[in-house]
């Protein structure tokens, strides 16, 4: 920690690095650089949506996600039941992103004394509802007091055959880039909720105007995990070459696939699937619709690549859109606008750090 003399400020104290300066991905790289693996059954450790562990004739997928009050959710407009549901779903989505089947989950809570048992009942009811829907066994957890606020930590196990697992690193130049569902609505939902919150702050007698935005608000408050995609692709005989779930925004996820696969990409802006009403709302709010999709995040759709030869199998599947293709790394990571301009894709970094 203190080994570099030149890393000192004028008063000869070690200069400390702020977390904001480093960002989430920089921090993870920094913290995990000394990690070594001892067990040959650890097939994938840090660096994908889940760790992959060999267990007999299959593999166990292992992932974890935190939700922190004031960072990931705002209890002003997030009902406890939705929060519990979402905490479960974001973890289930990580297993879907590995092309696995979710199986067991632990849910840990740190709660300050401002919360009642009834509030936690609701939160757990949401977790249990998601577990019922996605057939996941809630097998444990930990509960603790917290000095301030609410924090939810979920860990999940999934299962797959070894050859079924899709890593972020499997994309090759020429592969088609595909996405499920539509993007950007969760971000517009958040925008609407934040707007109504500020109106409420100015005049607490105002009733929030949320009617008519069910789809957008639902996408934000109660997302679903695309565990159905695995069977859909098995059904048409397509195995993705790489896959990731869209939690941070399309741009950031594409860059992950490119970096870990060692390829470039061409993304066609006009192909990005966005709900029509979300497009209208975005324009009304002076947000470029594709930016909501690229940077918004929290849609929990799946982004994946398939071999070019699978084009015929996949091109007419409802709910899957081909949005571009992978290229040689030297060609860069580009978005092609409808008028043919090539723009380098950049990510906004860590959602949690930004807010």
Footprint of its own copies on 325-354 (CB under 8 A): 352-353
Site track for its own copies across 247-276, x = CB under 8 A: ------------------------------
Is 197 a binding residue for its own copies by CB under 8 A? The answer is no
60 versus 192: smaller Cβ distance to its own copies: 60
> 65 to 94, contacts with its own copies by CB under 8 A?
65-66, 68-72
Among the listed residues 240, 242, 250, 228, the one whose alpha carbon sits nearest the alpha carbon of residue 299: 250
285 backbone dihedrals φ, ψ, rounded to 5°: -90, 10
Q: Which is nearer to its own copies, 126 or 181 (CB)?
A: 126
Q: Cα–Cα distance between 301 and 183 in angstroms, integer?
A: 8
**Lookup result for tokens 């936690």:** 120
Member of 78, 131, 192, 281 binding its own copies (CB under 8 A): 131
Answer for which of 74, 75, 79, 128 binds its own copies (CB under 8 A) is 128
Binding mask 155-174 for its own copies (x = CB under 8 A): x-x-----------------
d(CA 183, CA 288): 13
d(CA 319, CA 338): 22
253: tokens are 């996820």
**Would you say 44 or 96 has its CB closer to its own copies?**
44
Selected binder of its own copies within 8, 29, 116, 212 (CB under 8 A) = 116
Q: Considering the complex, what minimum distance in angstroms separates the CB of residue 189 from its own copies?
A: 21
Residue whose structure tokens are 């009834």: 118
End-to-end CA distance of the chain: 29
Rank residues 135 and 197 by Cβ distance to its own copies and give the closer one. Answer: 135
Instruction: Using the minimum distance from each CB to its own copies, give the nearer residue, 24 or 331.
Output: 24
What mask, x for binding its own copies by CB under 8 A, covers residues 198 to 237?
----------------------------------------
> 78 with 197: CB under 8 angstroms?
no
Which positions from 11 to 30 touch its own copies by CB under 8 A, shown as an x/- string?
---x-xxxxx-x-x--xx-x
Exposure string of 160-197, with b = 16+ CB inside 10 Å and e = fewer, is beeebbbbbbbbebebbbbbbbbbbbbbbbbbbbeebe
Question: Residue 146 Cβ, how far from its own copies at the closest point, in Å?
Answer: 6
* Single residue of 13, 113, 205, 231 touching its own copies by CB under 8 A: 113
64-72, 172-180, 286-294, 320-328 -> range binding its own copies (CB under 8 A): 64-72
Does position 145 bind its own copies by CB under 8 A? yes
CB crowding 84-110: b at 16 or more within 10 Å, else e:
bbbbbbbbbbbbbbbbbbbbbbbbbbb
257-271 burial: b if 16+ Cβ within 10 Å, else e: bbebbebbbbbbbee
**∠ at Cα 317 (313, 320), nearest 5°?**
110
Smallest separation (angstroms) from its own copies to the CB of 345: 23
């Amino acid at each position: 920690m203190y080994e570099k003399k030149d890393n000192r400020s004028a008063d000869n104290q070690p200069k400390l690095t702020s977390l904001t300066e480093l960002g989430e991905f920089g921090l993870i790289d920094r913290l995990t650089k000394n990690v070594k693996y001892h067990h040959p059954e650890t097939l994938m450790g840090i660096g994908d949506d889940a760790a992959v562990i060999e267990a007999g004739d299959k593999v166990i997928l292992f992932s974890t996600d935190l939700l922190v009050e004031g960072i990931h959710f705002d209890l002003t407009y997030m009902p406890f039941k939705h929060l519990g549901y979402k905490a479960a779903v974001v973890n289930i989505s990580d297993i879907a992103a590995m092309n696995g089947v979710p199986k067991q989950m632990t849910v840990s809570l740190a709660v300050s004394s401002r919360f009642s048992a009834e509030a936690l009942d609701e939160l757990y009811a949401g977790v249990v509802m998601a577990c019922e829907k996605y057939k996941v066994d809630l097998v444990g957890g930990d509960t603790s007091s917290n000095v301030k606020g609410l924090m939810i930590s979920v860990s999940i196990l999934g299962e797959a055959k070894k050859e079924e697992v899709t890593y972020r690193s499997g994309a090759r130049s020429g592969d088609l880039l595909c996405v499920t569902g539509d993007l950007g609505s969760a971000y517009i939902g958040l925008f609407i909720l934040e707007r109504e919150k500020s109106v409420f702050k100015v005049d607490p007698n105002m009733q929030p105007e949320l009617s008519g935005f069910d789809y957008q608000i639902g996408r934000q408050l109660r997302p679903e995990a695309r565990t159905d995609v695995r069977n859909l692709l098995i059904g048409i005989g397509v195995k993705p070459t790489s896959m990731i779930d869209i939690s941070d925004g399309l741009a950031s996820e594409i860059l992950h696939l490119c970096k870990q696969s060692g390829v470039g990409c061409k993304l066609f802006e006009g192909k990005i699937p966005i709900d029509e009403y979300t497009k209208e709302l975005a324009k009304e709010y002076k947000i470029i619709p594709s930016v909501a999709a690229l940077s918004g995040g929290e849609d929990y759709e799946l982004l994946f690549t398939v071999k070019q030869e699978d084009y015929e199998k996949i091109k007419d599947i409802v709910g899957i859109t081909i949005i571009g293709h992978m290229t040689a790394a030297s060609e860069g990571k580009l978005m092609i606008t409808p008028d043919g301009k090539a723009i380098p894709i950049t990510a906004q970094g860590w959602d949690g750090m930004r807010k």
